[in-house]
Structure 1
Amino acid sequence: MTLSNHVKYYIIETICLLYILLFIYASISKLMNFENFQVQVGQSPLISAFASWIAWLVLILELTVALLLCIPKFRIWGLLGAFSLMTFFTIYIFIVLNYSSFVPCSCGGILEKMSWKVHLVFNFVFILLAALAVYWRTKIDHIKIFSHNLKPVRSMFILCLCSTGIMIFLFLYSEDIMHYENPFIRRYAKHPVTFLSKKNLTFNSFYIAGISQGRIYLGNYTSPLHIVSVDEKLQDEQVHQISFIPQKIPFKSITINVRGKYFYLKDGTVPAIFRGKISDWRVNSELKSLPYFTQAEPMDSTAVVFRSNNGKNLAHVLGIYNSNDKTKVVYNDSLLQKQIDGVFDTDGILTYSEKQRKIVYLYLYRNEFIVADQIGRLTFRGNTIDTTSKAKIKVSYIKDSTQRKMSAPPYVVNAKAAVCENLLFVQSKIKGRYENDKLWNQASIIDVYDLSKNAYVLSFPVYNLKDEKMKSFRVSHTHLYAVIGRDLVVYDFKDELRNKMENKDSE
């Protein structure tokens, strides 16, 4: 049965009306909550880097196509525009579902209530409707598209190729920018970590001393020789007492590190580092001839990386101590770079990756971290995704310039850090583009970086407990452990992060 031209006109008009309703509704929905729409575009795994102008471009194109469809003279161009735009959206969804690193939420209008697979079917149906309307309209009215030799099917095929090519180009270019030249747009993947359980610690003086052999070890600032350990499920709790009788050692600030089968008792004001085995918790040796230090991280049973004030004008400097070497201590005064005073401006967090055998130092007040090998040679300097390249601090000198102090609250960029294998986890204090205050008030934001590629990976929140924010955290191959208030909290890493940590995911 062949439809008459009169019936075809009615079908074409109906298709045009459906597109007009769809685009006007979608664009008005986006416009009414434009800030949220920009955030959603910014979180896209495909076009994050172009969110500032793509959000406006989508609105303008949807309204323009709707307007063209309303005017009979330009209706054919409106149908072609609708076909191209819907093809563009469909290719976007197809890449999101099959090739992107994660699947974000939807972006406005009717489609916001649909799943991504339903989006795909919905869009495909509308592409077929637009193609049908274009084909019938050109045949009935003998309309030539672009040129006299270009038939409607061929025209739509070219438009389809163009839309696909543009989407693929944006995807590849945006991914490169997001990972290596990030314009301070965080990528919040869909549940890369999930909350598993929590354990009340009774007191708020606990910190995470280390993770070893499937157990989490907690030190206590007020009772430094008292150690609590729990299994990964936070069920089996054990209490340990370090057996140590110091003789006239003026300890002021003892902290404990657990690494592998050893524990380390540290106090940089003495200075001293004592070592023992976690099998019996007895101090059985001392790492002798250590200089004074402000931070120290054991690398193995005989070597320690530390930070001291032995640099020029008492500036911070990183050094390596090895009890097996004749010289024992070697400094590298070129690793930490002075911007203002060499002390406050180079303040940061010292960590060590056992698997990678890399030293990682993260600055507190600027968007930079340092990666060095076991003997203190620079591997590379990396950057966090925020834009604070110079420390925003004010330093005053007192007592004839012999002492210095902060004369104003510092602008903290990076608050805490942990490293496991090739991944660096950074608690940032700076809100990125297209982010709202609500999330920042409710959680601590963790940014993840791949040290093997010097690239940003993704971000995720660690939510507060009873208005208490995270105080410290550590990561294992499979979990993140955090002390929040009086609770120890465990989060489980999903495949996306586990694969990144094991370097299974190639980009």
Structure 2
Amino acid sequence: MKLRFNFKSVFIEAVSLLFVLLFVYAAIAKFLDFENFQIQLGQSPLLSVFASWIAWLVPIIELLIAILLVIPKFRNIGLWASFSLMIMFTVYIFIVLHYSSFVPCSCGGILEKMSWNVHLIFNIIFVILAVAAILFNMKIKQTNTARAKYLKTFKGLAGITAFSTLAVVILFLSSENIMHNENPFIRRFPPHPAEFSNAIDLKFNSFYFAGFSNKRLYLGNFTTPSKIISLNENLGDWQVKNIQFDPKDIPFKIVTTAVRDSFFYLVDGSVPKIFRGSLTDWRINKELKGTPYFNRAVPIDSNNIVFRSNNGRKLTSVLGVYTAAETPAIHYNKKLLQQQIDGIFDTDGTLLYSEKMHKIIYVYYYRNEFVVADKSGFLSFRGNTIDTTKYAKIKVATLKNGTQYAMSSPSYAINAHAAVWQNLLYVHSTAKGRFESKSVREKSFVIDVYDLNKNNYLFSFPIYHTSSDKLVSLLVTDAHLYAIIGNELVVYELRDALRKEIKSI
């Protein structure tokens, strides 16, 4: 009996010491690298929303439990608390592995070298050690009370397990709902949703994306609008296409080219003129007559164009849809773009069209909002990007007796660039979110991804600088993301984390 009593005492002492070492080491490691720990929690697929207070709460609880374990009078309480905390950690890892939208990188001192599955086994072992120490620490004076005592203890363990599990599940469900629908400007960066594939030097900074069709990428050039560069998906098979067209006496000012399906479009809203031709021979064969003046235009199909013009009151910006026919039709919806300051600069943004969703998308530059409309120009819904800039931070000056306007205090564009593919909206955001690494922001452009079907935020990923730190334009397909960065055309391969979110309509 004496040997058995000593074994129990030594076992309890050993387990308590192991927990003390584990919790003290983990807590000190968190405090010594607190900023990084908080950033890692902010990227957690379970605890992002609660990272600010959990980052403090967890190491404090670990230290308090360690104190309880080293004081003999409170050791039993410490063992129960250790069991509860290890259950929470175990459930957390189980949910990360089986139910979260992505599996983040491992973190936390010595445990950083462990995979998530090994970490799960490690936690389960410590749960078992805590249970054994709790059972050995029971004081049973009479044999006939042992069964009742053990039954009561097992009920307590089951209750603590249920409580700890429920607490983590509630945190997970609450965090997911808030992150996707009421995001408090916390970005999630899953591991490698897009990986660098290739890059080529374009030599000049005057290129832009004209479009993507039949697995070919098309580049336009502001200085030589009659020449189009065509490449395959991997930036190979470089071809130069010459647009066959005699403009005669048309006073073009800013000519751009757009590619949609099997057609290309030559557009200039200052004239205004839109011409259409076939990709087979690159020859203009039709003029879309009766087009209004515009400063943005995106083809919807062979006969419909969505455009933005200054046709509103006091030259404010409005969106409209032009339909080519024997009698051309123009539909303006002056309620789509909402004025905050002047209705011109404060409504500036990127005009897009999702061919698969049959939706018009307009992303504001200077505020955290985008507009989604059907192909006829009627509002479908308004969405928000995750930054906190609700109102454009610009100042506008009036020139020439109120007939011209200029930004007297320019603001940097919050949503500087945007692209759409099927149901996914990609936004290059220049605003720094909570719990984000400054070093990553300095070396990369952050792309936020939104699901237009659900009108919610999914996650973010970085595009790293190449030879330039200026992102010019974005284009996305089902398999790749293309970016013009300075003079370079860069292609990134989309991985499963992104491709599984693309839904065919």
Question: What range describes the TM-score normalised by the shorter chain of this pair?
Answer: over 0.9
1:469-506 alpha-carbon deviations (Å, 9 max, x no partner): 321110011110111122211111112211211269xx
Aligned positions of 1:362-377 closer than 5 A: 362-377=363-378
Deviation at 1:325, TM superposition (A): 7.2
Instruction: Find the aligned partners of 1:96 and 1:78 in 2 and give their Cα distance.
Output: 27
1:413-454 alpha-carbon deviations (Å, 9 max, x no partner): 100000111111000010000012211111111001000100
Counterpart of 2:64, as a letter, is T
Find out whether 1:474 has 2:475 as its counterpart.
Answer: yes
Which residue number in structure 2 is paired with residue 33 of structure 1? 33
Find out whether 1:133 has 2:133 as its counterpart.
Answer: yes
Counterpart of 1:258, as a letter, is V
Find out whether 1:173 has 2:174 as its counterpart.
Answer: yes
Find out whether 1:284 has 2:285 as its counterpart.
Answer: yes
Which residue number in structure 1 is paired with residue 21 of structure 2? 21
Aligned positions of 1:76-91 closer than 5 A: 76-91=76-91
Deviation at 1:409, TM superposition (A): 2.2
1:176-227 alpha-carbon deviations (Å, 9 max, x no partner): 1110010100011111111111122222221111111011101111111111
Which residue number in structure 2 is paired with residue 157 of structure 1? 158
Aligned positions of 1:323-338 closer than 5 A: 323-324=324-325, 326=327, 328-338=329-339
Counterpart of 1:4, as a letter, is R
Deviation at 1:170, TM superposition (A): 0.9
Instruction: Find the aligned partners of 1:375 and 1:224 in 2 and give their Cα distance.
Output: 29
Q: Contact between 1:41 and 1:107, CA under 8 Å: does it hold in 2? A: no
The 3-state SS of whatever aligns with 2:91 is helix
Which residue number in structure 1 is paired with residue 97 of structure 2? 97
Deviation at 1:328, TM superposition (A): 1.2
Which residue number in structure 2 is paired with residue 9 of structure 1? 9
Gapped regions of structure 2 (runs ≥ 5): none
Deviation at 1:167, TM superposition (A): 0.9
Which residue number in structure 2 is paired with residue 414 of structure 1? 415
Aligned positions of 1:336-375 closer than 5 A: 336-375=337-376
- Count of paired positions: 501
| Length-normalised TM-score, structure 1 | 0.96
The 3-state SS of whatever aligns with 2:293 is coil
Deviation at 1:150, TM superposition (A): 6.6
The 3-state SS of whatever aligns with 1:386 is coil
Structure 1, 15-24 or 464-473: larger mean CA deviation? 464-473
Cα 1:210–1:198 shift into 2, 3 Å? same
The 3-state SS of whatever aligns with 2:401 is coil
Aligned positions of 1:311-460 closer than 5 A: 311-324=312-325, 326=327, 328-460=329-461
Q: Contact between 1:269 and 1:293, CA under 8 Å: does it hold in 2? A: yes
Find out whether 1:270 has 2:271 as its counterpart.
Answer: yes
1:151-196 alpha-carbon deviations (Å, 9 max, x no partner): 2222111111111111111111111111001010001111111111
Instruction: Find the aligned partners of 1:313 and 1:424 in 2 and give their Cα distance.
Output: 31
Which residue number in structure 1 is paired with residue 497 of structure 2? 496
Deviation at 1:140, TM superposition (A): 6.0
Instruction: Find the aligned partners of 2:491 and 2:438 in 1 and give their Cα distance.
Output: 25
Which residue number in structure 2 is paired with residue 123 of structure 1? 123
Which residue number in structure 2 is paired with residue 68 of structure 1? 68
Counterpart of 1:37, as a letter, is F
Cα 1:411–1:205 shift into 2, 3 Å? closer
Q: Contact between 1:5 and 1:140, CA under 8 Å: does it hold in 2? A: no
Instruction: Find the aligned partners of 2:470 and 2:35 in 1 and give their Cα distance.
Output: 27
1:60-80 alpha-carbon deviations (Å, 9 max, x no partner): 111111111111110001111
Counterpart of 1:394, as a letter, is K
Instruction: Find the aligned partners of 1:131 and 1:290 in 2 and give their Cα distance.
Output: 77
Deviation at 1:355, TM superposition (A): 0.5
Find out whether 1:232 has 2:233 as its counterpart.
Answer: yes
The 3-state SS of whatever aligns with 1:20 is helix
The 3-state SS of whatever aligns with 2:9 is helix
Instruction: Find the aligned partners of 1:285 and 1:92 in 2 and give their Cα distance.
Output: 61
Q: Contact between 1:463 and 1:469, CA under 8 Å: does it hold in 2? A: no
Deviation at 1:412, TM superposition (A): 1.9
Instruction: Find the aligned partners of 2:328 and 2:275 in 1 and give their Cα distance.
Output: 19
Gapped regions of structure 1 (runs ≥ 5): none
Which residue number in structure 2 is paired with residue 57 of structure 1? 57
Which residue number in structure 2 is paired with residue 111 of structure 1? 111
Counterpart of 2:481, as a letter, is L
Counterpart of 1:372, as a letter, is A
Counterpart of 1:99, as a letter, is Y
Cα 1:349–1:129 shift into 2, 3 Å? same
1:282-322 alpha-carbon deviations (Å, 9 max, x no partner): 11111111111010000000000000000000000001100
Deviation at 1:239, TM superposition (A): 1.0
Q: Contact between 1:208 and 1:472, CA under 8 Å: does it hold in 2? A: yes
Which residue number in structure 1 is paired with residue 220 of structure 2? 219
Find out whether 1:260 has 2:261 as its counterpart.
Answer: yes
Instruction: Find the aligned partners of 2:325 and 2:191 in 1 and give their Cα distance.
Output: 48
Deviation at 1:109, TM superposition (A): 2.3
Structure 1, 494-503 or 14-23: larger mean CA deviation? 494-503
The 3-state SS of whatever aligns with 1:501 is coil
Instruction: Find the aligned partners of 1:114 and 1:139 in 2 and give their Cα distance.
Output: 37
Q: Contact between 1:309 and 1:316, CA under 8 Å: does it hold in 2? A: yes
The 3-state SS of whatever aligns with 1:337 is coil
Deviation at 1:400, TM superposition (A): 1.7
Instruction: Find the aligned partners of 1:412 and 1:342 in 2 and give their Cα distance.
Output: 16
Instruction: Find the aligned partners of 2:500 and 2:436 in 1 and give their Cα distance.
Output: 27
Cα 1:503–1:103 shift into 2, 3 Å? farther
Structure 1, 398-407 or 16-25: larger mean CA deviation? 398-407
Q: Contact between 2:468 and 2:485, CA under 8 Å: does it hold in 1? A: no
Q: Contact between 1:443 and 1:469, CA under 8 Å: does it hold in 2? A: no
Q: Contact between 1:444 and 1:464, CA under 8 Å: does it hold in 2? A: yes
Instruction: Find the aligned partners of 1:215 and 1:5 in 2 and give their Cα distance.
Output: 78
Cα 1:228–1:2 shift into 2, 3 Å? farther
1:229-260 alpha-carbon deviations (Å, 9 max, x no partner): 11111121111111111011111111111111
Deviation at 1:3, TM superposition (A): 6.0
Instruction: Find the aligned partners of 1:225 and 1:3 in 2 and give their Cα distance.
Output: 94
The 3-state SS of whatever aligns with 1:189 is coil
1:387-411 alpha-carbon deviations (Å, 9 max, x no partner): 1111110111122222111111214
